[in-house]
Amino acid sequence: MSELIFKDKVAVVTGASRGIGRAIALELVQGGAKVAFNYLKSDCEARTLLAEIEKLGAHGLSFKGDTRDFDLAKEFIDQVKEYFGSLDFLVNNAGITRDKAFMLMDKNEWAEVIDTNVNGYFNMARAVIVTLLKQKSGAIVNISSISGISGIARQVNYSTSKAAIIGMTKSLAKEVAPYNIRVNCVAPGFIDTDMTKSMKEDVRQKSADAIPFGRFGSVEDVAKAVSFLLSERSGYITGQVIKVDGGLHMSY
- The site for ligand NAP (CB under 6 A) is made up of 14-21, 38-42, 45, 66-68, 93-96, 116, 120, 143, 145, 188, 190-191, 193-196
**Cα(129)–Cα(190) distance, rounded to whole angstroms?**
30
List phi, psi (to 5°) of 86.
-160, 180
Task: Please list the helix, strand and coil fractions of the chain in percent, rounded to the nearest 5, in that order.
Answer: 50, 15, 35
- Rank residues 129 and 191 by Cβ distance to ligand NAP and give the closer one: 191
List phi, psi (to 5°) of 92.
-85, 105
**Least distance (Å) from ligand NAP to the CB of residue 137?**
25
- Rank residues 30 and 145 by Cβ distance to ligand NAP and give the closer one: 145
- Determine contact, residues 47/18, Cβ cutoff 8 Å: no
The total number of residues written for the chain in this structure: 252
Tell me whether residue 55 is exposed, middle or buried, using C-beta atoms within 10 angstroms of its C-beta: 0 to 12, 13 to 18, 19 or more: exposed
- Rank residues 100 and 135 by Cβ distance to ligand NAP and give the closer one: 100
Q: What single DSSP character describes residue 115? A: I
**Least distance (Å) from ligand NAP to the CB of residue 169?**
13
- Rank residues 112 and 131 by Cβ distance to ligand NAP and give the closer one: 112
Residue type, 202: D
**Least distance (Å) from ligand NAP to the CB of residue 127?**
13
**Least distance (Å) from ligand NAP to the CB of residue 140?**
14
Tell me whether residue 45 is exposed, middle or buried, using C-beta atoms within 10 angstroms of its C-beta: 0 to 12, 13 to 18, 19 or more: middle
- Rank residues 32 and 249 by Cβ distance to ligand NAP and give the closer one: 249
**Least distance (Å) from ligand NAP to the CB of residue 147?**
7
Q: Which residues are catalytic?
A: 158
Beta bridge partners of 242: 186
